[in-house]
C-alpha cells in the first residue's frame, strides 16, 4: 500500500488529497486510542473465553470500558477529519464539498476497500460485544461480586440457599427489554450511590419496585402445581446443660392443585394463589404489621378483616396503599435467608458440626453470636475467647479432655457468624424478617393471629391444625407425642398456645 501511495505522490502531488485527511493530530490520537482499545478488547475477550474462572472485572473491562474507549477513539478520529477539512478548505479554498471518489485510482480503491472491511468488522465485533455486554451485566458475578461490599450479605446468603444456581436477574429483572432497561437505569443510580458511599445500610427490605412474582417466580414455579402435604422435620436443642434435643415432625399442608386435573385446590397455596385474591395493607415499612385484609373468593364473594386493636376508621382504610398478595408476601426470603442464630446453632448441633455433649454449648454459642460487635474481626476473636473461657472457668476438666471438640465448636460458631452477620452493612437476622412460619417472626400470624375479624364475626384462623398436623414430637430421643397428636406440646408450660405470639419469646437470639 505504501508503494502505491509513493507512486502516486510523484504523479499527482499537487492534488489536495496527497496527504490523507486523517493526517492531523486529533485524528491520529483518536486512531491510536481506537487501536489500543481494540487490541485490549480482543485480549480481554480471549481471557474471558479461555480462563476457567475469570474475574468479573475482566468482563467490565472487555465489554464496557474497552468499547467505550474504542468508540471515543473513532469519534475523535472523525472529529479530527472534520476539523482538518475545514482548515484545508479555508487555507487552500480548493476543497470540494464532498470528496471525489474515483475507483480507477488504485490508492482510493484500496482505501475504500479498507474502509468497507473495517465497517463490516466493526459491526460484527460490536454485535458480539453488545451481546457479551448484555450477558455480562446480567450475570451473577456482575450483580453479586462487583459491588461486593454492598451486596455481600445478599450474595453470601444466596450462595447457601435453594436458589444458589438461579441467576439474580431471573428474580430481580426477568425477561423483556423494558425491565432490563429499568434495572440498568436503577443500576446506574446505585453505582453513583456506591461511589459516593451514600447507599443505605442495610439495603432496605422489602424491595418496593420488585417485579411482580407472576413474571419472575412463576416462570419456573407453576402456581397450580400440586404439592400436597409435605413432611418437615424441625430439630432444636434446649438451653440446659444437656442441650436437650427436641424433634418435631409435621405435615405442612402446602396443597395447591389444578381443578382441571381433578385436584380440589386446597391448603396454603390454594387460598392465596389459585382460588382467591387477597389484598392487604401494612402500617409499617417492612410489612410486618397488617391491620386490614380483604379476600375475594373465586365466586366474587368479598370478606374484609380488620385487626381488633387497629382502631382504624373506614376512611383510613379506603385511603391506604394496598397490595395484592403474591408469592413474595410469604416467600420474601427465598434466597437471601439470614438464619436466626439459635436456628443456625441448632442446625450445627444436628449436623454434628458442634459436639452436643459439651455442656451448655447451645446457650453459650447463641450468646457469643448475639453479643454486640463493631466489626467481623472483633466478633471472631471475642467468640473464641468467650467459649474458651467458659469451659476453662466452669468445666476445667472438659476444657482439657475435649479441647478438640471445643476448638471445632469455636470454628463452627465463627463460620456461622461470618455467613449470617454482616456488621459493615448492618445486616443480620433481625433486619430482614422471614415471613414463612411464625416462630421467630410474626410471619403467618401477621394475619392469622385470631385477632383479625370480619363485620359478621368471622376470624382469620389461628387453629394450630389449619396449616399443619403434628406427626411426632420427641424430647431427648423419647417420644412425647405421636400420631394422632394434636396439639403441639410446648416444652415448657406457657398456658394457652392460641393466646400467644410465638415470636414474642422466640426472637431467634438468646431468649429462650
Ligand atoms: C429466587 C429469587 C431471587 C434470586 C435468585 C435473587 N434474589 Fe435478591 N431478592 C429476592 C426477593 C424475593 C427479595 C426481597 C423481596 C422483598 O421482601 O420485597 C430480594 C431482595 C434483594 C435485595 C434487597 C435486600 C434484601 O435482602 O431484601 C438485594 C440487594 C438483592 N435481593 C440482591 C440480589 C443479588 C445480588 C442476587 C444474586 C447474587 C439476588 N438478589 C438473587 C429474590 C431473589
Ligand atoms: C430460574 C428458575 C427459578 C426462579 C425464577 C425461581 N425459582 Fe424457586 N426454585 C427453583 C428451583 C430449581 C428450585 C429447587 C431447588 C432444589 O430443590 O434444589 C426452587 C426452589 C424453591 C422453593 C423451595 C425452597 C426449599 O426450601 O427447598 C421455594 C419456596 C421457591 N423456589 C420459591 C421461589 C420464589 C418465591 C421465587 C421468586 C422470587 C422463585 N422461587 C424463583 C427455580 C426457580
Ligand atoms: C400464604 C403464604 C404463601 C404464598 C402466598 C405462597 N406460598 Fe409457597 N409455600 C408456603 C408455605 C407455608 C410452604 C411450605 C414450605 C415451608 O414451610 O417451608 C410453601 C411451599 C412452597 C414451595 C415448595 C417448597 C418445598 O419445601 O418444597 C414452592 C416451590 C412454593 N411454595 C412456591 C410458591 C410460589 C411460586 C408462590 C406464588 C405463586 C407461592 N409459593 C405462594 C406459603 C406460601
Ligand atoms: C395478609 C394476610 C395473610 C397472611 C400474611 C397469611 N394469610 Fe393465610 N389467610 C388469609 C385470609 C384472609 C384467609 C381466608 C380466611 C377466610 O376463609 O375468609 C387465609 C386462609 C388461609 C388458609 C385456609 C384456612 C382455612 O381454615 O381454610 C390457610 C391454610 C392459610 N391461610 C395459610 C397461611 C400460611 C401458612 C401463611 C404464612 C406463610 C399465611 N396463611 C399468611 C390471610 C393471610
Ligand atoms: C396460618 C398457618 C399456621 C397456623 C395457624 C399455625 N402454624 Fe405453625 N407453622 C406454620 C408454618 C408454615 C410452619 C413452617 C415454618 C417453616 O417451614 O419453617 C409452622 C411451623 C410450626 C412449628 C415448628 C417451628 C419450628 O421451627 O420448629 C411449630 C412447633 C408450630 N408451627 C406450632 C404451631 C402452633 C402451636 C399453632 C397454633 C397456635 C400453629 N403452629 C399455628 C403455619 C401455621
Ligand atoms: C412466653 C414465652 C414463650 C412463648 C410465647 C412461646 N414459647 Fe416456645 N419456648 C419458650 C421457652 C422458655 C422454651 C424452652 C427453651 C429451652 O428449653 O431452652 C421454648 C421452646 C420451644 C420449642 C423447642 C425448641 C427450643 O428452641 O428449645 C419450640 C419448638 C417452641 N418453643 C415453639 C413455640 C411455638 C410454636 C410458639 C407459639 C405457638 C411458642 N413456642 C411460644 C418460651 C415461649
Identify which of 406, 17, 293, 102 has the alpha carbon closest to the alpha carbon of residue 5. 17
418 has pLDDT over 90: yes
Burial of 103 (0-12, 13-18, 19+ CB in 10 A): exposed
Per-residue model confidence (pLDDT) at position 121: 85
- Nearest ligand 6 atom, CA 238: 18
- Residues of the chain with pLDDT > 70, as a percent, come to 93
Longest dimension (CA), the chain: 109
Mean pLDDT for the stretch of residues 267-288: 87
Considering Cα of 411, then 412, then 413, then 415, what sign does the dihedral take? positive
Q: How far apart are the first and last CA of the chain?
A: 85
- Determine whether 58 is exposed, middle or buried from the number of CB atoms within 10 Å of its CB (0-12, 13-18, 19+): middle
CA of 420 to the centre of ligand 3 (A): 23
CB 44 within 8 A of CB 66: yes
Angle at 82 between CA 77 and CA 33, to 5 degrees: 10
Choose which residue among 437, 440, 446, 499 to substitute to test ligand 5 binding: the one with the highest number of ligand atoms within 8 A of its C-beta: 437
Tens digits of per-residue pLDDT, 7-59? 444 444 445 444 678 888 999 999 999 999 999 888 888 888 887 777 767 77
Ligand 1 pocket by C-beta < 6 Å: which residues? 140, 143-144, 151, 154-155, 158, 163, 166, 168, 170-172, 203, 205-207, 210, 328, 332, 334-336, 432
Q: Give the chain's length.
A: 512
Nearest one of 169, 157, 467 to 333, comparing CA atoms: 157
Cis before 509? omega within 30? no
Look at phi and psi of residue 256 and say left if phi exceeds 0, alpha if psi is from -120 to 50, else beta: left
Specify the residue with its C-alpha closest to ligand 4, atom 25. Answer: 466
Dist. CA 141–CA 159, nearest whole Å: 12
How far away, in angstroms, is 460 Cα from ligand 4 center? 7
Q: Which ligand has the shortest distance to the CA of 288?
A: 4
Sequence-distant (≥ 6) Cβ neighbours of residue 185 within 8 angstroms: none
**Ligand 4 atom nearest to CA at 255:** 29
CB 346 within 8 A of CB 237: yes
Distance between CA 478 and CA 246 in Å, rounded?
Answer: 9
Backbone angles phi, psi at 95, to 5 degrees: -60, 120
Averaged pLDDT for residues 449-475? 93
* Exposure class string for 217-242: b at 16+ Cβ within 10 A, else e: beeeeebbebeebeeeeebbbbbeee
The pLDDT of residue 283: 93
- pTM score, two decimals? 0.86
Pick the range with the lowest mean pLDDT from 94-98, 483-487, 488-492: 94-98
Amino acid at each position: 500500500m505504501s508503494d502505491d501511495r509513493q507512486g502516486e505522490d510523484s504523479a499527482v502531488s499537487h492534488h489536495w488529497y496527497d496527504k490523507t485527511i486523517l493526517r492531523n493530530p486529533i485524528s491520529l490520537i483518536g486512531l491510536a486510542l481506537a487501536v489500543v482499545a481494540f487490541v485490549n478488547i480482543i485480549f480481554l475477550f480471549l481471557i474471558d473465553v479461555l480462563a476457567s474462572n475469570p474475574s468479573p472485572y475482566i468482563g467490565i473491562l472487555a465489554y464496557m470500558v474497552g468499547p467505550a474507549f474504542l468508540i471515543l477513539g473513532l469519534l475523535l478520529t472523525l472529529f479530527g477529519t472534520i476539523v482538518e477539512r475545514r482548515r484545508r478548505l479555508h487555507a487552500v479554498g480548493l476543497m470540494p464539498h464532498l470528496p471525489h471518489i474515483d475507483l480507477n485510482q488504485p490508492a482510493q480503491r484500496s482505501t475504500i476497500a479498507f474502509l468497507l472491511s473495517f465497517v463490516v468488522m466493526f459491526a460484527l465485533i460490536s454485535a458480539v460485544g453488545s451481546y457479551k455486554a448484555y450477558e455480562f451485566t446480567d450475570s451473577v458475578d456482575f450483580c453479586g461480586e462487583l459491588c461486593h461490599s454492598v451486596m455481600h450479605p445478599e450474595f453470601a446468603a444466596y450462595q447457601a440457599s435453594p436458589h444458589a444456581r438461579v441467576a439474580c436477574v431471573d428474580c430481580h429483572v426477568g425477561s423483556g427489554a423494558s425491565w432490563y432497561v429499568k434495572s440498568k437505569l436503577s443500576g446506574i443510580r446505585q453505582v453513583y450511590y456506591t461511589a459516593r458511599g451514600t447507599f443505605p445500610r442495610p439495603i432496605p427490605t422489602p424491595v418496593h419496585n420488585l417485579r411482580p412474582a407472576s413474571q419472575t417466580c412463576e416462570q419456573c414455579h407453576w402456581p397450580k402445581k400440586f404439592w400436597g402435604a409435605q413432611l418437615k422435620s424441625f430439630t432444636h436443642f434446649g438451653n440446659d446443660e444437656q442441650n436437650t434435643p427436641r424433634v418435631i415432625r409435621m405435615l405442612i399442608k402446602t396443597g395447591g392443585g389444578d381443578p382441571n386435573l381433578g385436584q380440589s385446590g386446597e391448603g396454603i397455596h390454594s387460598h392465596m394463589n389459585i382460588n382467591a385474591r387477597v389484598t392487604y395493607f401494612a402500617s409499617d415499612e417492612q410489612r410486618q404489621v397488617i391491620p386490614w385484609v380483604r379476600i375475594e373468593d373465586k365466586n366474587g364473594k368479598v370478606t374484609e378483616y380488620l385487626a381488633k386493636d387497629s382502631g382504624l376508621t373506614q376512611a383510613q382504610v379506603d385511603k391506604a396503599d394496598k397490595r395484592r398478595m403474591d408469592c413474595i408476601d410469604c416467600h420474601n426470603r427465598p434466597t437471601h435467608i439470614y438464619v436466626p442464630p439459635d436456628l443456625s446453632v441448632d442446625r450445627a448441633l444436628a449436623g454434628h458440626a458442634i459436639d452436643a455433649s459439651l455442656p451448655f454449648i447451645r446457650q453459650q454459642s447463641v450468646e457469643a453470636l448475639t453479643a454486640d460487635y463493631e466489626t467481623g474481626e472483633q466478633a471472631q476473636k471475642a467468640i473464641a475467647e468467650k467459649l474458651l473461657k467458659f469451659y476453662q472457668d466452669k468445666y476445667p476438666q472438659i476444657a482439657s479432655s475435649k479441647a478438640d471438640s471445643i476448638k471445632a465448636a469455636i470454628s463452627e460458631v465463627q463460620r456461622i457468624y461470618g455467613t449470617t452477620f454482616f456488621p459493615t452493612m448492618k445486616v443480620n437476622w433481625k433486619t430482614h424478617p422471614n415471613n414463612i412460619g411464625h416462630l421467630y417472626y410474626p410471619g403467618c400470624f401477621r394475619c392469622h393471629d385470631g385477632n383479625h375479624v370480619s363485620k359478621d364475626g368471622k376470624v382469620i384462623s389461628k387453629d394450630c391444625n389449619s396449616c399443619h398436623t403434628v406427626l411426632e414430637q420427641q424430647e431427648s430421643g423419647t417420644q412425647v407425642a405421636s400420631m394422632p397428636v394434636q396439639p403441639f406440646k410446648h416444652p415448657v408450660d406457657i398456658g394457652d398456645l392460641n393466646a400467644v405470639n410465638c415470636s414474642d419469646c422466640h426472637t431467634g437470639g438468646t431468649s429462650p
